[in-house]
Structure 1
Amino acid sequence: MTGTPPRSELLGEIGQSVIDSFRYLQREVTVPHAGLIHITRSEADIMRILMEEPGTTVTEIARAFGQHKSNTSARIAALVEKGLAEKRSAAGDGREVRVYPTVTARTNLEGYRQVWAEHLEPLSTASDERLAIAAEVLGEIAEALARGTTASSSENPRP
């Protein structure tokens, strides 16, 4: 009789599946879709940080990717031009600039969530109950990873 694989094996499989799926789903934000603003992969990386940590500085974002601040600033400028990000001076220090996602960015993400759902719909026969469990587990993992990354983002750049 075969039992459930060990927890470490299951978690490793989840991680691999997330990585394998990510490259296909991320591609969708880089191609035009009616009513949505498409962005480059580098801009998508920045938007993920802004959605997780609104108010991140340009320097923190550059460090997270091991990039020069000027390259990151150019990408952020493109996001500002597209209406997906806004820069604000930090309270108390007008020299420090913080970057935030806009309402348009949040609406755009919801649009891409619908695109992803349309792509994934025919790929799984799982019941709504199983999908709810999968979404809960993956959401829990994503939140824990974000908390861990947030706590040490200034000391340990993201991979």
Structure 2
Amino acid sequence: MTGTRPRDELLGELGERVIDSFRYLQREVTVPHPGLIHVTRSEADIMRIIMEEPGTTVTEIARAFGQHKSNTSARIAALVEKGLAEKGTAEGDGREVRVYATKQAVANLAGYRRVWAEHLAPLSSADDTRLQVAVEVLGEIAEALAAESRRGAPQQADSGV
């Protein structure tokens, strides 16, 4: 009989597995696929933020990555040129630029979800029930991490991983 491993051990391994998987799946958005718009890794990071937080300011995006605002602005300009992002200003305050994902960005993400599904399908024997649980657990963690980030929770020290 094998016992259940401690929660902290399981969560630690889950984090490691997410990072291991991410680096392979992230690569898919940086290479051309027919009918899809590929982006750089930095642009993909920005897209995740603006899809999660529509109307995020350029300053907030730059701060999230520890980048200079000018570097972030250049990446956003590239996303606008690709048709994946659009810029606007806050009502009542035209000084701060806000960034939004376009309908084309939403369609592009749906296309990449299909690419990821095709890539992952032959790699997992999990049935639909196990996949649903995995999606729910990872979704809960992702939402909590995003909320923590929005609150400005202190980041953990870089472990060098």
Q: TM-score, normalised by structure 2?
A: 0.93
| 2: CA distance, partners of 1:2 / 1:125 | 22
User: Following TM superposition, by how much is the alpha carbon of 1:125 offset from its aligned partner in structure 2, in angstroms?
Assistant: 0.6
Q: Does residue 41 of structure 2 align to residue 41 of structure 1?
A: yes
Match of 2:149 in 1: 149
User: Following TM superposition, by how much is the alpha carbon of 1:152 offset from its aligned partner in structure 2, in angstroms?
Assistant: 1.5
User: Following TM superposition, by how much is the alpha carbon of 1:65 offset from its aligned partner in structure 2, in angstroms?
Assistant: 1.0
SS at structure 2 position matched to 1:27: helix
Structure showing greater relative contact order (alpha-carbon pairs closer than 8 Å, 6 or more residues apart): 1
User: Following TM superposition, by how much is the alpha carbon of 1:145 offset from its aligned partner in structure 2, in angstroms?
Assistant: 0.9
Residues 117-132 of structure 1 correspond to what in structure 2 (within 5 A)? 117-132=117-132
* Structure 1 gap ranges (5+): none
SS at structure 1 position matched to 2:97: strand
User: Following TM superposition, by how much is the alpha carbon of 1:71 offset from its aligned partner in structure 2, in angstroms?
Assistant: 0.8
Q: TM-score, normalised by structure 1?
A: 0.94
| 2: CA distance, partners of 1:62 / 1:145 | 18
| 2: CA distance, partners of 1:95 / 1:127 | 51
Q: After TM superposition, which residue ranges in structure 1, 4 or more long, deviate above 6 angstroms?
A: none
Match of 1:66 in 2: 66
What letter is aligned with 2:121?
E
Corresponding residue pairs, total: 157
Match of 1:23 in 2: 23
What letter is aligned with 2:19?
I
Q: What do the CA deviations read for 1:29-57 (whole angstroms, capped 9, x no partner)?
A: 00000110000011001111111111111
User: Following TM superposition, by how much is the alpha carbon of 1:13 offset from its aligned partner in structure 2, in angstroms?
Assistant: 1.0
Q: What do the CA deviations read for 1:66-107 (whole angstroms, capped 9, x no partner)?
A: 111111100000000001000001100111110011111111
